[in-house]
């Protein structure tokens, strides 16, 4: 299932079916500028760090990967209106997301919070109107926010291995939702 979700996420965030661009030299060892389509990536995957990228690093970036980096906190309202993909999975010490964190992420299409200790989604989550892939598997989240119905572009939702025990009926009004993974949850019936 993870390969299907990964492939779909890559397809959604790719501007065309052409091969992925190779990174070119960049001003920072963790910031890469894609040659063919002007993509900008910030990658710190697997690099142990306590600190998230600074406010300037969030600007003008299209894709950020901080997976398995050991971060335990995120900044308040980073300005990243160009951000399409945010990968935060496997950061077990990440327990909370600031209320304003998603405030400037209107174009975000892929969000992976799997295998973090996040317990709830902040109020700014409703700003993610372009979100198409959301992976919350293996988190401590117990319920989806009422604003979840605003995610009309959502196509893939992975809730496997979460503490969620009930789904809001509004979830099933998301007409673009194609994949809903509820494996290993406490959900016994659908509304």
pLDDT in tens, 70-103: 999 999 999 999 999 999 999 999 999 999 999 9
What is the average per-residue pLDDT within 47-61?
85
Residue at 14 is within a domain: no
Largest CA distance in the chain: 52
Percent of the chain with pLDDT over 70: 79
For range 38-63, the mean pLDDT = 84
Domain for residue 23, yes or no?
no
CATH number at residue 102: 3.80.10.10
**Residue range 98-116, pLDDT digits in tens:** 999 999 999 999 999 999 9
For the chain, give the mean pLDDT.
84
Q: Would you give the end-to-end CA distance of the chain in angstroms?
A: 24
Q: State the Cα angle at 188 between 183 and 191, rounded to 5°.
A: 105
Residue 133 lies in a domain: yes
Q: Residue 9: which pLDDT band, with cuts at 50, 70 and 90? A: low
Quick one: average pLDDT of 119-140?
96
Q: What is the pLDDT of residue 188?
A: 85
Q: Is residue 20 part of a domain?
A: no
Euclidean distance between CA atoms 10 and 2, whole angstroms: 12
Give me the domain span that covers residue 132.
2-9+30-181
Q: Is residue 18 part of a domain?
A: no
A 10 A CB-CB count for 101 gives 21
Whole-prediction pTM: 0.81
How many independent structural domains does the chain possess?
Answer: 1
Element (H, E) at 133: strand 133-135
25 in any annotated domain: no
51: pLDDT strictly greater than 90: no
Range scoring the smallest mean pLDDT among 4-13, 57-66, 108-117, 124-133: 4-13
Q: In 10 A of CB 8, how many CB atoms?
A: 17
pLDDT of residue 23: 41
For residue 154, is it within any domain? Answer: yes
Give which of 26, 53, 54, 56 is closest to 40, Cα–Cα: 26
């Amino acid at each position: 299932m993870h390969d299907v979700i990964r492939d779909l996420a890559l397809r959604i965030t790719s501007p065309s079916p052409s091969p992925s661009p190779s990174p070119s030299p960049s001003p920072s060892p963790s910031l890469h500028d894609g040659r063919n389509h002007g993509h900008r990536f910030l990658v710190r995957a697997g690099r142990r760090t306590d600190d998230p990228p600074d406010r300037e690093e969030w600007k003008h970036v299209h894709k950020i990967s901080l997976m398995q980096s050991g971060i335990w906190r995120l900044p308040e309202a980073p300005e990243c209106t160009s951000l399409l993909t945010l990968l935060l999975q496997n950061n077990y010490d990440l327990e909370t997301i600031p209320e304003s964190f998603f405030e400037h992420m209107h174009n975000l299409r892929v969000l992976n919070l799997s295998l973090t200790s996040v317990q709830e989604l902040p109020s700014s989550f409703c700003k993610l109107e372009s979100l198409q892939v959301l992976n919350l598997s293996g988190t401590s989240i117990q319920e989806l926010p009422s604003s979840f119905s605003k995610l009309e572009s959502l196509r893939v939702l992975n809730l496997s291995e979460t503490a969620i025990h009930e789904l809001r009926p509004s979830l099933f009004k998301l007409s673009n939702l194609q994949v809903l993974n509820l494996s290993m949850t406490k959900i016994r019936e659908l509304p």
